[in-house]
Amino acid sequence: MRIHILPSMNPDGFEKASAGKCTGIHGRYNSNKMDLNRNFPDPFGRTDSSLEPETEAVMRWIHSESFVLSASIHGGAIVAAYPYDNNNRGSNNYSRSPDDDVFRYLAKMYSFHHKSMYKGNFCGMQDYNYVWGQCFELTLELSCCKYPTAAQLPHFWDQNKVPLILFIQQVHLGLKGRVLDDKGNPISKATVNIFGRSNLIPFQTNSLGEYYRLLVPGEYVLEVEAEGFDPINKTVDVFDTINQYTAVVHDVVLQKSK
């Protein structure tokens, strides 16, 4: 397991923010007066502005690795939020994603282990990361004060240490494996779908033929397709293997089309 940390997505705003100031918007925008967490391409077509350099850099980073799980940490509330931020109807109703059960599990796991977190926008990073990056992201708002002082950090660490460690462990939730041809060669860009879950952009294997799919325990039908190969459907059982520090491993071999 590898852990990647981005200390600040908005260095301009970080410099402008005033520690101890619990309200206000001075640290929210970059030097171009853009809210970066409202600057990502929207899966429902509501992107209203050009992409900022910081946004493009994060997008390149998302696609440079096969990230599985992500937390975007903010201040200004105490809540764990998850996709979708938006929907294709533009309404404010609950916007359920195809993997809503997984996101609800992750959010409950975090909030229930937090000492005071409540036990819920368009163009946000979490939707982009999920839809285009194949990575399940929660937005974690960890302090009511938007810009807390350094002296408060031990308190926030005490509140979040256990749920953060448990959250990282959830990367082992679900299913992983490789898609190979009959000679054992990896097949890249094979689509790996779960029957009944219509993701806006199908999950695909990486250059090593690897796929990662966060799923709560249960029985699923795995649908695997690749250009030039016969598609295959397989029923798989996903067990709780988190404490074994590995997801359930299920490799798939595809036969070339005749």
For residue 140, pLDDT over 50 is answered with yes
pLDDT band at 67 (very low <50, low <70, confident <90, very high): very high
Same fold, 11-171 and 175-254: no
For residue 14, pLDDT over 90 is answered with no
List residues with catalytic annotation: 141
Please tell me the pTM assigned to this model. 0.81
User: What is the CATH superfamily name and number for domain 11-171?
Assistant: Zn peptidases (3.40.630.10)
Q: Could you tell me the two tokens for 74?
A: 């903010």
pLDDT band at 47 (very low <50, low <70, confident <90, very high): low
Handedness of CA 86, 91, 92, 95 (dihedral sign): negative
pLDDT at position 234 is: 96
Calpha distance 130→192 (Å, rounded) = 15
For residue 94, pLDDT over 80 is answered with no
Q: Could you tell me the two tokens for 33?
A: 């007066």
Average pLDDT, the chain: 87
Calpha distance 257→107 (Å, rounded) = 42
pLDDT at position 131 is: 84
162-200 pLDDT per residue, tens: 999 999 999 999 999 999 999 999 999 999 999 999 888
For residue 137, pLDDT over 60 is answered with yes
For residue 213, pLDDT over 90 is answered with yes
Q: Could you tell me the two tokens for 201?
A: 């952009």
pLDDT at position 96 is: 81
Q: Which CATH number fits domain 175-254: 2.60.40.1120, 3.40.30.10, 2.60.120.200, 3.40.50.150?
A: 2.60.40.1120
pLDDT band at 120 (very low <50, low <70, confident <90, very high): very low
pLDDT at position 116 is: 64
Domain ranges in the chain? Answer: 11-171, 175-254
Helix 153-169, helix 100-113: angle, nearest 10: 140
Calpha distance 249→220 (Å, rounded) = 14
